[in-house]
Amino acid sequence: MKRINIIFALFALAFITCDDDFLNEPPLDRITENDVWSDKALMDTYFFKIYDRMPWDYLESFWDVGGCQRDGISDLARGTYTWTALLNQYRPGIWGTANNTWPLDWWGYDIIWKINYSIENLEQIPTSVLTVEERNNRLGEMHFLRAYCYFALAKRYGGVPIILVPQNPDVTPQEELFPSRNTEKEVYDQILSDSQAAFDLLPNRWASQKGRASKWAAKSLESRAALYAGSIAKYGTVQLDGVMGIPASNADAYYQTSLSASQTIIAEGGYSLFNQYSDPATNYANLFLDETDDEAIFTKIWIPFEKGHEYDLHNVPFSYRLDWGASMSPTKQLVDSYEVLSTGLLPSESGSGYDENNPWENRDPRLKGTILTNNDIFQGEPVHIWYGTERDGSIDTGSGTGIGKDGLGIHPDATKTGFYVRKYLEDGDSPLFVPQYYSGQDCLIFRLGETYLNAAEAAIELGIEASARDYIEVIRTRAGLQQNLRLEPYSGTELRDRIRNERKLELAFEDHRYWDVRRWRIATEALSIQVEGVRTLRHIDAAGNETFTYETFDAEALPMSFDQRHYYLPIGQNRVNNNPNLIENVGY
């Protein structure tokens, strides 16, 4: 008899439940297979373990891009710690098969086996253990989880082997144990098939549990995955007989699938954009802290200390830290993407009204909801980012007299660009000094804001400009923008690019940007840049008045570099050695 070893307490905490019957279960250090599939609580514990190992959490992830949260590998921010692989290998593009290490690698077939094994057993569960509805709901979960696993694989590697049954070396034919790679199109079609099956089986909402996927999570995955497939078909190139790339003739069908899924969520899902605060910047910041059900379609649940993460520890400004801190330094390129509030134009556009003496004021409110700039109030105190103080023509950079407490150069762990991340950080009336594993902010995996952006992008790619404007207007209105809410000055590719910019800002630091520029096939430009920052100098005149000047500088020793081959990650020599039928991606 096979035995399944489960540490129950750790994984049950991944969900919040009003049903405490599971507390009366016997110890689960050694549970038989029959025990698991004969008891709903034990069965759910097994499923919770699968949830816990899914590759979707971007708040917890710190080392999968070599010493930073995931967006530190994009053009949104650079990593702060100069000794990490992030700055010395991944951002400069020095990675591949030779050293068998690369960012964001995930080959989750062990998880897929557990999902397939669960589906096989659920299909045989008698009604004495689960009602038909309970069984269907859990089958829906497994189809959703399998779809997400294959989506995680496809966006990294392109075509991968599609395995839909739990392989067993004792009975599975030898040729099936060493499968070849399916085409990228076949993988995306399987993702969409599983997503639809999940939508049909899952409940509208789970009555008493947060953190379990609903049917709207499945529909959100369909919306996102079909959008990716459409982009890859339209902007990518087919190689290796379709193992890499999707035929261009399929682009519109995928875009239409994404648009239809998004429209269904908007019309029938029962969600609304979070809009609880009168100040738009505060509203945007608190969208990620208040943990309401308005906009959140699917989240990973975290509980401080019992099952917490380290996002605050790794990302607060320097003077607010217990250790580490400031692991992501936002780039000037990101800051320059926020338009001027009074005109609706980007700072670089003619007539924008951008004020170089007050560069962070009169801007898209999401700027202050996402990024901390000089003198912004955070946890009850102003953030002091100036690198020095000028008095009577002399610049003092001394600690305590010249440089700000969070300024450039005060410590190797302080900002490297002149900005800090605000998004997702706990706020308060005084510095919180959040310890390790005491961060409990839930991680938003799918939210309605993304759905509107997916709809806008799919519509513009299908040439339906009026609909694209309808969807983007909703996002821009909630953001507190005042001009060009429908992006009226733009059309065609200019409108498409402004919709992409909206996605960049609205979803910043939610693990979208790196994947987006890859699927649009613009990463060779967007991720091959010299990152810039802003040096802030404080001036104090004879009367004690304080003013500031700002200077752009190159903020990264090695420029970012994204090679054509990096649109796909390598399968890896170790995997090819284990299965010779796995052909390697082009360029490796």
pLDDT in tens, 73-125: 999 999 999 899 999 999 999 988 665 578 899 999 999 999 999 999 999 99
Residue 445, token pair as written in the block: 């995996």
Say which residues have a Cβ less than 8 Å from residue 311's Cβ, sequence separation at least 6.
59, 60, 69, 424, 425, 439, 441
pLDDT score of 32: 86
Strand spans (E) along 68-155:
77-79
Dihedral (CA of 292, 298, 303, 309) sign = negative
Buried b (16+ CB within 10 A) or exposed e, 145-175: bbbbbbbbbbbbbbbbbbbeebbeeeeeeee
Containing 291, the helix (H) or strand (E) segment is none
Minimum mean pLDDT range among 206-210, 392-396, 533-537: 206-210
pLDDT score of 86: 94
pLDDT score of 102: 85
In whole angstroms, what is the distance from residue 566 CA to residue 360 CA? Answer: 34
Task: Report pLDDT digits (tens) over 358-379.
Answer: 999 999 999 999 999 999 999 9
Q: Inform me whether the pLDDT recorded for 24 exceeds 50.
A: no
45 located within any domain: yes
Give the count of domains, the chain. Answer: 1
pLDDT score of 209: 86
Kindly list the distances between the CA atom of residue 433 and the CA atoms of 298, 327, 415, 428, in Å, as whole numbers in the listed order: 29, 15, 18, 11
pLDDT score of 306: 87
44 located within any domain: yes
410 located within any domain: no
Mean pLDDT computed over 531-542: 98
416 located within any domain: no
pLDDT score of 428: 94
State the number of CA atoms in the 13 A half-sphere of 6 facing the CB. 27
| Residue 453, amino acid | L
pLDDT band at 14 (very low <50, low <70, confident <90, very high): very low
In whole angstroms, what is the distance from residue 316 CA to residue 310 CA? Answer: 11
Task: Report pLDDT digits (tens) over 249-259.
Answer: 999 999 999 99
Residue 329, token pair as written in the block: 């330094």
Task: Report pLDDT digits (tens) over 136-191.
Answer: 999 999 999 999 999 999 999 999 999 999 999 889 998 899 999 999 999 999 99
Q: Inform me whether the pLDDT recorded for 20 exceeds 50.
A: no
Range of the domain at 36: 1-52
Mean pLDDT computed over every residue of the chain = 93
Nearest to 222 by CA among 254, 253, 247: 254
Q: How far is CA 266 from the centre of its chain?
A: 21
384 located within any domain: no
286 located within any domain: no
Q: Which carries the bigger pLDDT value, residue 3 or residue 411?
A: 411
Task: Report pLDDT digits (tens) over 330-350.
Answer: 999 999 999 999 999 999 999
pTM recorded for the entire structure: 0.94
260 located within any domain: no
pLDDT band at 26 (very low <50, low <70, confident <90, very high): low
Containing 377, the helix (H) or strand (E) segment is strand 377-378
Q: Inform me whether the pLDDT recorded for 19 exceeds 70.
A: no
Nearest to 238 by CA among 180, 161, 178, 186: 186
In whole angstroms, what is the distance from residue 45 CA to residue 8 CA? Answer: 6
Class of residue 433 by CB neighbours under 10 A (exposed 0-12, middle 13-18, buried 19+): middle
Q: Inform me whether the pLDDT recorded for 13 exceeds 80.
A: no
In whole angstroms, what is the distance from residue 343 CA to residue 481 CA? Answer: 9
518 located within any domain: no
pLDDT score of 29: 57
φ/ψ bin of 130: left (φ > 0), alpha (ψ from -120 to 50), beta (otherwise): beta
pLDDT score of 17: 44
In whole angstroms, what is the distance from residue 135 CA to residue 158 CA? Answer: 32
Helix, strand or coil for residue 28?
Answer: coil
Q: Inform me whether the pLDDT recorded for 492 exceeds 60.
A: yes
